[in-house]
Amino acid sequence: MKRVPAIIAALPREIAALVKGWERRSPARGVAVYSNGEAVVACAGMGVARVALAVQAAMDALPVTDLLSVGLAGACDPKLRVGELVRAGVVLDSRTGERFEDSPFSQLLVSSDAIASVREKARLHATCYAHAVDMEAASVARLARERGLGFHAIKVISDEADFELAELARFSTADGQFREGAFALHAALHPAMWSKVIALGRNSGKAVAALTVALRGELDWYRNLA
């Protein structure tokens, strides 16, 4: 049977370059689905509820066999640098303690219900030996298990272990989106944040570029299975 991957991301900017030229659908408010006939990409925002919407939209678009949780992540391991990939061998749900395994890989990714602070990243590294932290992978893994689908998590570091992002949480919306305009206005009114905002933009761009390259390679791998 042909394997059809569904790439599940939180925010459109994480997969914008990957899906250029793909067919786009918007089955529900805040949900975007892209397909090239061989694979599907869906993003619906951050958080557990939004993941479920993205997965369902992807499954409605194509008969998928694998769910890939992709996107930006924070480094818990101080050795990890911006732009480095994390392919999770274990995804740990910080809320429930559930573990989801992908045996070919060895890194540990923790899924949290909020943007992790520097202190929280350090705690996860010390107590769980976590390499990185995100917000969605465990939910994607759970849905894959429930539906009998394959699962992989491919994340890229956008903020290193000592880079503080916790203040960004106030700019997330109820539907899992990030209010970029509101954040930009807030930053403009606080000059002390300017250098950090510049670094954040640079780091995010580098991370997204690395993720795009990795995902193109992943799609080539699936294509060659046919």
> Are the beta carbons of 177 and 149 closer than 8 angstroms?
no
The answer to whether 67 touches 154, Cβ cutoff 8 Å, is no
Asked if 73 and 11 count as a contact pair (C-beta separation under 8 A), the reply is no
CB atoms within 10 A of CB 113: 13
**pTM for this predicted structure:** 0.87
The model's pLDDT over 107-118, given as tens digits with 9 standing for 90+, comes to 999 999 888 899
At residue 51, the pLDDT reads 93
**Residue 55 amino acid letter:** V
Radius of gyration, CA atoms only, the chain: 17
The stretches in the chain having pLDDT less than 50 are: none
pLDDT of residue 166: 57
The CA-to-CA distance between both ends of the chain, in Å, stands at 9
Q: What is the pLDDT of residue 45?
A: 86
Tell me which DSSP letter residue 166 carries.
G
Q: What is the CATH number of domain 5-225?
A: 3.40.50.1580
Domain boundaries, the chain: 5-225
Distance between CA 169 and CA 132 in Å, rounded?
A: 18
Residue-level pLDDT at 103: 80
